[in-house]
Amino acid sequence: MKIAVLIKYCPDSEAAINVVSGKLDTSSAKFSVSPYDEYACEEALKIIESQGSGEAVVFNVGPEKNGKGLRDELARGADRAVHIVTEKEITCPEFTSRLLAAALKQENPDLILCGWKGIDYDLGITGTKVAEKLGIPHVMVVSKLTIADGKAICTRQVDSGDEIIEVPLPAVIGAQKGLNEPRYPSLKGIMKAKKKPASQITPAQLGVEEPTGKAMYTGFTFPPSKSAGKKFEGPESVVEVVRLLREEAKVI
Amino acid sequence: MDFSYSEEELEVLDLVRQVADEQLAPNLAAIDESGEFSRGNFKLLGELGILGALFPEEYGGTDLGFLTYAMCVEEVSRGDFNTGLTMSVHSMSASTILKFGTKSQKEKYLPGAIAGTNLLAFALSEPDYGSDSASIKCHAKKVSGGYLLNGEKAWITNALDADQFVLWATIDPQLGKTGITSFIIEKGTKGLGIGPNEHKMGGGGTTTSSLILTDCFLPNENRLGEEGKGLRTALNSLSGGRIGIAANATGVSQRAINEAAAYSKKRIQFDVPICEFQGIQWKLADMDTKCEAGRLLYRKAAYMKQFAGNDINKDPIKEASQAKCYATDVGLEICSEAVQIFGGYGYSREYPVERLMRYIKVTQIFEGSNEIQRNLIARELLKS
């Protein structure tokens, strides 16, 4: 079984993000593979191990530095990497999904796994868009996955219990936390990663152009910092507190 | 010295750092309390290939070289002193087999040692001969087909948990140095008794016991290297072991610095975090500078050890002793200052730094006491 894994390489969950004149500054942030995509890759490795054969191909769209993210997954055990190299980070999911869909068409995987969202922009839409462009089903936020007889049986946790959804393959499955526990790469894996096949392609080679008329990020701001609270002391202040709660805070 | 690490080395270190933070450090307090050796930690290092850094690929190793190996020991020790110590002693014992063993000995013992499925211990010291290792009295009497061992070994790290021991004995006590011979002995061999676990200042995490050999027969195939060449084997292994202990102490020192720096930022006295006081800053600055100096010494020695390869004459004896002696001496100072910065909390077992101070004390004593290291350094420098 050939499994494609779509990964995003983004600032680590503990990275400090700055905003400089309305733009994100990630220059001092440590980057890593988005955790939900790590679940996706682990699941691909587990499926291949349980079936005894198969190929896990990891895909990424983004600048040259993202090659490190792909190599991390090769070190964990993925077999091959496809890097769609762009000059800058692509923040438009429509563009990203067009690129991924074009690259995936060349590969014809039996199953496509991705994180249900990236931990940077939190959009949770790229996997769905890829499925739409390939004309195949998708199930997102999956916390248990069983592959059998050309079908994917997916479990989604909802507030009141579990939903079980069955889709024919190929399909796009978006991993949720709890799907598995991603393994560490081994030292041998790290050393082998460099020797594994990794191809680079450009949007032009895929024949994909940047969409026009798309939604664009125009600015970022931090939430306003909280102003200092007021302190009241002694029983005689109660009247004043009640007055302020009524007139200023307007909560009573 | 070229300390520009390759991308691969940095990725390996990143992995070891992550494993130390996520898997080792959180369990240290529990391991210390339990008093038991953590087989799980040792196996984890084997599974991830971290125990294979010094060994060729044909036995399952990664052959990353001594410098990367020592840096891995530092990172593991920052997470857990005991696991770092075990890694160092085990690797020292296994590399003795790699360097001096026959092909069949290597094939028999190294794959398991690298995979973390069999643990090796190093048995040189005796109750009456520690620093004076040339005078050991454990007797390996030559008999038909092998040797009959009688005697006692003391202070053997992980003795209760080890699967095999690399052990030194003399074929004739009258011969002195030239009688010393090394052997591989399996746990469970008839005539090999293991004493109770010593109650140590450093608490749990590794066991320490004596070995009692009573008419213990070892066939010729268990002899490691040539008869009478054992002291040379031991000393060559020990220089590597000393670099390992320097890295081990550096890891513990770094942990103490990290803990103390973090605490000094959150402990408020006189309305400010105590890290704003110059008295605390100067302590931290000295701790960090000493730690860095020890780190440079062990890395230099490791670098030289790597390039010495199998050439015993190029063994960095002086540099290994300097690294071991310095990194462990400053290690105790650093850990003691970390306890001081934590104040009363530092003395409490609820907080992590008293444990580091208890652990690090032994690094000045074992693998050749720091007094012996100074003798070696002086001997080497007065040679020419």
For residue B126, the domain's CATH number is 2.40.110.10
Domain match, B242 and B341 both:
yes
Domain match, B239 and B379 both:
yes
Domain match, B268 and B253 both:
yes
Triad B123, B34, A186: Cα angle to 5°:
70
**Chain B residues inside the 8 Å CB shell of A75:** 11
Domain match, B169 and B52 both:
no
What is the pLDDT at residue B2? 66
**Chain A residues inside the 8 Å CB shell of B111:** none
In the block, which residue shows the tokens 């020592």? B70
**Chain A residues inside the 8 Å CB shell of B48:** 184-187
Nearest to B15 among A71, A190, A194 (CB): A190
**Which whole number is the average pLDDT over B125-143?**
89
**B177 or B279: which leads in pLDDT:** B279
Residue B349 lies in a domain: yes
pLDDT of B237 strictly over 90: no
The architecture that CATH gives domain A2-206 is: 3-Layer(aba) Sandwich (3.40)
pLDDT of B1 strictly over 70: no
- State what percent of residues in chain B have pLDDT above 90: 82
Looking at B194, B224, B254, the residue that finishes a domain is B224
Tell me the nearest-neighbour CA distance from B228 into chain A, angstroms. Answer: 38
Distances (CA, A) of B306 to B54, B134, B171, B301: 9, 26, 32, 9
Tell me the nearest-neighbour CA distance from B263 into chain A, angstroms. Answer: 20
Q: Does B65 touch chain A (CB under 8 A)?
A: no
CA distance A41 to A57: 9
Mean of per-residue pLDDT scores for chain B? 94
List B319, B354, B367, B371, catalytic entry? B367
**Which whole number is the average pLDDT over B224-250?**
92
What is the pLDDT at residue B261? 98
Which neighbouring-strand residues pair with A4?
A57, A112
What is the pLDDT at residue A251? 87
Q: Does B198 touch chain A (CB under 8 A)?
A: no
- State what percent of residues in chain B have pLDDT above 70: 99
In the block, which residue shows the tokens 């890395």? B299
Domain match, B19 and B74 both:
yes
End-to-end Cα distance, chain B: 23
Residue B80 lies in a domain: yes
Residue B43 lies in a domain: yes
- Tell me the residue type at B203: G
Domain match, B356 and B254 both:
yes
Nearest to B49 among A71, A187, A194 (CB): A187
**Which whole number is the average pLDDT over B118-143?**
91
Q: Does A185 touch chain B (CB under 8 A)?
A: yes
Q: Does B18 touch chain A (CB under 8 A)?
A: yes
What is the pLDDT at residue B8? 86
Question: Running DSSP on this structure, what letter comes out for residue B364?
Answer: G
Residue B2 lies in a domain: no
**Which whole number is the average pLDDT over B166-177?**
92
Domain match, B265 and B367 both:
yes
Tell me the nearest-neighbour CA distance from B293 into chain A, angstroms. Answer: 27
Residue B1 lies in a domain: no
**Residue B162: domain span:** 122-224
Asked whether the beta carbons of B110 and B55 are under 8 A apart, the reply is: yes
Domain match, B50 and B104 both:
yes
Instruction: Kindly indicate the confidence band of residue B195, based on its pLDDT and cuts at 50, 70 and 90.
Output: very high
Which neighbouring-strand residues pair with A9?
A33
**ipTM at complex level:** 0.79
Instruction: Kindly indicate the confidence band of residue B139, based on its pLDDT and cuts at 50, 70 and 90.
Output: very high
Active site residue B58: no
**Which whole number is the average pLDDT over B223-242?**
90
**Chain A residues inside the 8 Å CB shell of B62:** 187-188, 191
Q: How many domains does chain B have?
A: 3
**Chain A residues inside the 8 Å CB shell of B59:** none
Distances (CA, A) of B82 to A155, B14, B29, B230, B339: 42, 20, 11, 28, 20
Instruction: Kindly indicate the confidence band of residue B106, based on its pLDDT and cuts at 50, 70 and 90.
Output: very high
A186 with B8: Cβ contact below 8 A:
no
Nearest chain A alpha carbon to B49: A187
pLDDT of B235 strictly over 90: no
Looking at B191, B224, B257, the residue that finishes a domain is B224
Looking at B81, B104, B119, the residue that finishes a domain is B119
Tell me the pLDDT tens digit for each residue of B69-93. 999 999 999 999 999 999 999 999 9
Of the candidates B302, B65, A194, the one whose C-alpha atom is nearest the C-alpha of residue B57 is B65
Tell me the nearest-neighbour CA distance from B71 into chain A, angstroms. Answer: 14
B12 with A187: Cβ contact below 8 A:
yes
B48 with A190: Cβ contact below 8 A:
no
Tell me the pLDDT tens digit for each residue of B247-299. 999 999 999 999 999 999 999 999 999 999 999 999 999 999 999 999 999 99
B19 with A186: Cβ contact below 8 A:
no
Domain match, B273 and B353 both:
yes
What is the pLDDT at residue B236? 83
Domain match, B353 and B377 both:
yes
What is the pLDDT at residue A230? 83
B49 with A186: Cβ contact below 8 A:
yes
Tell me the nearest-neighbour CA distance from A195 into chain B, angstroms. Answer: 12
CATH number at residue B90: 1.10.540.10
Domain match, B130 and B104 both:
no
Residue B369 lies in a domain: yes
In the block, which residue shows the tokens 């994180």? A115
Tell me the pLDDT tens digit for each residue of B311-330. 888 899 999 999 999 999 99
Q: Distance from CA of residue B165 to its chain's centroid? A: 15
Instruction: Kindly indicate the confidence band of residue B101, based on its pLDDT and cuts at 50, 70 and 90.
Output: very high
Residue B182 lies in a domain: yes
Q: Does A75 touch chain B (CB under 8 A)?
A: yes
Q: Does A146 touch chain B (CB under 8 A)?
A: no
Triad B307, B96, B126: Cα angle to 5°:
125
Q: Does A30 touch chain B (CB under 8 A)?
A: no
B18 with A194: Cβ contact below 8 A:
no
**Chain A residues inside the 8 Å CB shell of B15:** 184-185, 187, 190
B8 with A185: Cβ contact below 8 A:
no
Domain match, B235 and B376 both:
yes
Average pLDDT by consecutive 10-residue portion of chain A (252 residues)?
97 86 87 96 97 97 96 96 95 94 96 96 95 97 95 95 96 97 94 94 95 85 83 90 90 86
CA distance A173 to A180: 14
